[in-house]
């Protein structure tokens, strides 16, 4: 089973993915590291720009039929059995990305993307089996347990659990207005 863990930068993808892979006994794959190892894409400044179709083709060729948890904000473009979209309060995203040294423009871009569900919408356009999990105020263990519970119950679609429309005023300082 291929489980893709996706979401806006700062939601906790890597921490949750590694823990989920460990609990399931699956291989953990960082999509960015995989792309770099395979020579897919090129570095533009601090970012790796990839051709998504090439990335998806190579990933499927290398991992089809394997048990893997793949982590990356583009992982929802892969042919996965289950896509887990992690969400977090946009203000928390702003704080985390500011701490990581992201530029004001990149912080604003990602806060806005979380605010308006960009990754969730893309995931739903690309996949049948999508579950949304809010990580706000939860430990990584709690998030992983929630994902495991959804998998055990056979839940293949759970979306609409997050609505950031009421927090717009909280995130204005992070937006590119």
Indicate the CATH number for domain 2-174: 3.40.50.300
- Domain ranges in the chain are 2-174
User: Which tokens sit at 6?
Assistant: 């996706």
Instruction: Tell whether the model's pLDDT for residue 48 goes beyond 90.
Output: no
How do residues 109-148 score in pLDDT, each as one tens digit? 999 999 999 999 999 999 999 999 999 999 999 999 999 9
Burial class (CB in 10 A: 0-12, 13-18, 19+), 150: middle
pLDDT of res. 177: 65
**Spatial separation of the C-alpha atoms in residues 138 and 12, rounded to whole Å:** 10
Please state which of the ranges 20-34, 39-53, 88-102 shows the lowest mean pLDDT.
Answer: 39-53
Strand intervals (E) in 11-165? 27-30, 42-44, 47-49, 68-71, 82-87, 130-134, 157-158
Judge whether 171 and 111 are in contact, CB under 8 Å. Answer: yes
Interval 37-54 mean pLDDT: 84
Average pLDDT over the chain, rounded to whole?
A: 94
Which contiguous run of DSSP H or E holds residue 52? helix 52-63
Report the pLDDT value the prediction gives residue 170, as an integer from 0 to 100: 86
């Amino acid at each position: 089973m291929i489980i893709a863990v996706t979401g806006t930068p700062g939601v906790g993808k890597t921490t949750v993915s590694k823990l989920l892979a460990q609990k399931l006994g699956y291989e953990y794959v960082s999509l960015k590291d995989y792309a770099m190892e395979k020579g897919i894409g090129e570095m533009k400044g601090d970012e790796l720009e990839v051709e998504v179709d090439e990335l998806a083709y190579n990933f499927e060729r290398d991992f089809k039929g394997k048990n893997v948890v793949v982590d990356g904000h583009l992982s929802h473009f892969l042919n996965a059995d289950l896509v887990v979209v992690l969400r977090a309060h946009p203000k928390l995203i702003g704080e985390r990305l500011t701490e990581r040294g992201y530029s004001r423009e990149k912080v604003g871009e990602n806060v806005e993307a979380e605010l308006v569900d960009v990754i969730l919408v893309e995931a739903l356009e690309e996949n049948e089996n999508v579950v949304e999990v809010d990580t706000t105020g939860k430990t990584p263990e709690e998030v992983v347990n929630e994902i495991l519970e959804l998998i055990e119950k056979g839940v293949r679609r759970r979306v609409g659990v997050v609505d950031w429309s009421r927090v717009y005023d909280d995130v204005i300082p992070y937006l590119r207005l």
